[in-house]
Amino acid sequence: MTSEPNQNNFKVVPLGQTVLRYEVPLDVFNIINHVYETKYPTLFPANKQLVGKIEKEHSLFYEGEDSPKMTKHNHLPQNVLQWFENTFRHYLDWNRIKEYNMHLNSVWVNQMFEHEYNPVHVHQGILFTGLSSVMILRLPESFGVEYSAEGQPQNGRLQILGSASGQFATIDYQPELKERDFYIFPYDMRHSVYPFNGPGMRRSLSANMDVQYDPIKNRGAS
């Protein structure tokens, strides 16, 4: 069972703050899909916690504060949780963040069908500081007809908005998605998912990792 991120297969996207793309190990990818598909009837609905205009949003892990909407639970094996921790830790170490504490807050799955979408939003856990993520679990054969600007497809796309400014700055990132992609970025980076047309299903996972650190000590970290 793979528990370490593949440090030779990740991509850096500078958007003022950093987005890192990892490739999910095949065993981790298969376990997550299997857990979701076999435990689906018993999973907590996550719709009341989320902004997505999506019918099928369900939680796999929650270690936040208990509320009428959600109580603590876990459907993921320890080795998958360890892979999440190691990969988030790699992001922080790569960004030279020092003396931090991490706490995995939540993991959930969005299963989208035609015309469903996720509006622009940010994430948070128990803390306002931390890391968001998106993992691509399933993609439809096609996102359907693009009614305009075929050279710049939008259907079904993930869009991450940066904090950089200026005419030559990269202000957003819309990757061409592949199954097993895993994107990590800070809680306060706005992002969205566009709707698509036609049959098929788009399944993704998000995980929130709270990060407690001293921003003063990490200014100009090296």
Tens-place pLDDT, residues 99-143: 899 999 999 999 999 999 999 999 999 999 999 999 999 999 988
The reported pLDDT for the residue numbered 219 is: 67
Give CA–CA dist 45/49, Å, rounded: 9
CB 14 within 8 A of CB 95: no
The per-residue pLDDT for 82 is 97
pLDDT value of residue 118: 93
Q: Which CATH homologous superfamily contains domain 10-141+155-212?
A: q2cbj1_9rhob like domain (2.60.120.620)
Identify the segments of the chain with pLDDT beneath 50: none
Q: What is the pLDDT at residue 198?
A: 87
- Give the C-alpha separation, 164 to 150, whole Å: 27
Which residues pair with residue 112 across a beta bridge? 202
Q: Where do the domains of the chain lie? A: 10-141+155-212
Question: Residue 13's closest CA among 210, 184, 207?
Answer: 184
Which residue stretches of 108-221 are H helix?
none
